[in-house]
Amino acid sequence: MLEELLRALRNWFVRDKATGRIRVEGGALVPPEGLALADGQYIRVTGSVFNDGLHRWPCTDLPDEEFVGTVWALAVPRAVLDLADEIDAWCKEHAGELDGPYQSESFGGYSYTRVMGADGRPLTWRDQFKARMDPWRKL
């Protein structure tokens, strides 16, 4: 969920980045020269065939490959990490409503009504958490 949230914010909280030849050997990422990474730090990999996306340093379970790409060292605030956890929990709690094809249904002793937004469309996590996402959103 964190990667999806950062994409929705259009903010990866980039602290540093390095572009060059990148190797993954024995599952371990070997970043370009000069990129200092701290244990537990989130990184974003781009330009890879198999390993694009968000990872946590040190990366030790990736498919081996060599490519020219970019490794982005991120500094994601704790509040954004917590928000991603809350969004994930909300999505799990409302999964049936979000995935269902109907606005409402009932039969037997069961019924549900999908939560709707002001525009009449089903409420999504982006709608539900918009106000809390806005301070970090980049245009």
The phi and psi torsions of 100 (rounded to 5 degrees) equal -70, 145
Residue 118 has a pLDDT of 63
The residue with greater pLDDT, 94 or 68, is 68
- The Cα–Cα gap between 12 and 95 comes to 26
Residue 102 has a pLDDT of 55
Q: Is 25 helix (H, G, I), strand (E, B) or coil?
A: strand
Task: Look up residue 119 and give its DSSP letter.
Answer: T
Residue 121 has a pLDDT of 67
Q: What is the dihedral of CA 93, 95, 116, 124, to 10 degrees?
A: 90
The phi and psi torsions of 49 (rounded to 5 degrees) equal -85, -40
| Structure confidence by residue, pLDDT tens digits, 47-69 | 999 999 999 999 999 999 999 99
Task: Look up residue 123 and give its DSSP letter.
Answer: P
Residue 139 has a pLDDT of 82
Residue 8 has a pLDDT of 97
- What's at 62, amino acid-wise? L
Sign of CA dihedral 48, 51, 53, 54: negative
The answer to whether the beta carbons of residues 57 and 41 sit under 8 Å apart is: yes
